[in-house]
Chains A and B, each alone.
Chain A
Amino acid sequence: MRFLRAIGRAALRFLAAAGRLAIFTFVSLSYCVRPPIYVSQILRQFVEIGYYSLPVVGLTTLFTGMVLTVQTADGFGDFSDENAVATIVVLSVTRELAPVLAGLMVAGRIGASMAAEIGTMRVTEQIDALTTLATNPYRYLIVPRLIAGTAMLPLLVVVGNIIGIFGGFLIAVYELGYNGHQFIARSWDALETIGVVSGLVKAAVFGFLIALMGCYHGYHSKGGAQGVGMATTNSVVSASILILSFNYIITGLFFAA
Chain B
Amino acid sequence: MSAAQSDIMTETPKISLQNLHKRFGPVEVLKGLSLDIAKGESVVVIGGSGTGKSVMLKCLLGLMEPDEGKIFVDGEETTHLRGAARTDLLAHFGMLFQGGALFDSLSVWQNVAFQGLQRHTLTRAQARDLAVRKLADVGLKPEVADMMPVELSGGMEKRVALARAIATDPDIILFDEPTTGLDPIMGDVIDRLIVKCTKELGATTLSITHDMASARTIADRIAMLYDGKLIWQGEASSIDDCGNPFVDQFVNGRAEGPIQMPVQAG
Contact = CB atoms under 8 A, between A and B. Distances in A.
Interface stretch (A7-15, A122-130, A171-179): A122-130
Interface residues of B, number: 24
Interface in A103-134: 117, 120-121, 124-126, 128-134
A134 B101 contact: no
A135 B118 contact: yes
A131 B61 contact: yes
A245 interface: no
B114 interface: yes
Nearest to A38: B118
Interface string B68-97: 000000000000000000011011011101
A131 B103 contact: no
A226 B87 CA distance: 32
Nearest to B114: A133
A126 B94 CA distance: 14
B19 interface: no
B61 A132 contact: yes
A133 B63 contact: no
B119 interface: yes
Contacts of B105: 117
Contacts of B99: 124-125
**Most chain-B Cβ atoms within 10 A of its Cβ — which of A129, A130, A133?**
A133
Interface string A6-48: 0000000000000000000000000000000010000000000
B108 to A, nearest CB: 14
Contacts, number: 52
A32 B105 CA distance: 23
B119 A134 contact: yes
Given A125-B98, A125-B101, A140-B118, A132 B87 contact: no
Nearest to A136: B87
Nearest to A132: B95
B115 interface: yes
A124 B101 contact: yes
A102 B116 CA distance: 39
A129 B87 contact: no
A125 B100 CA distance: 8
A134 B105 CA distance: 18
Contacts of A125: 97-99, 101
B257 to A, nearest CB: 32
A71 B213 CA distance: 76
9 contacts: A117-B105, A120-B104, A128-B58, A130-B103, A132-B95, A133-B118, A134-B91, A134-B118, A135-B114
Given A124-B99, A128-B97, A129-B97, 11 more contacts: A38-B118, A121-B103, A125-B99, A125-B101, A126-B102, A126-B104, A129-B103, A132-B63, A133-B118, A134-B87, A136-B87
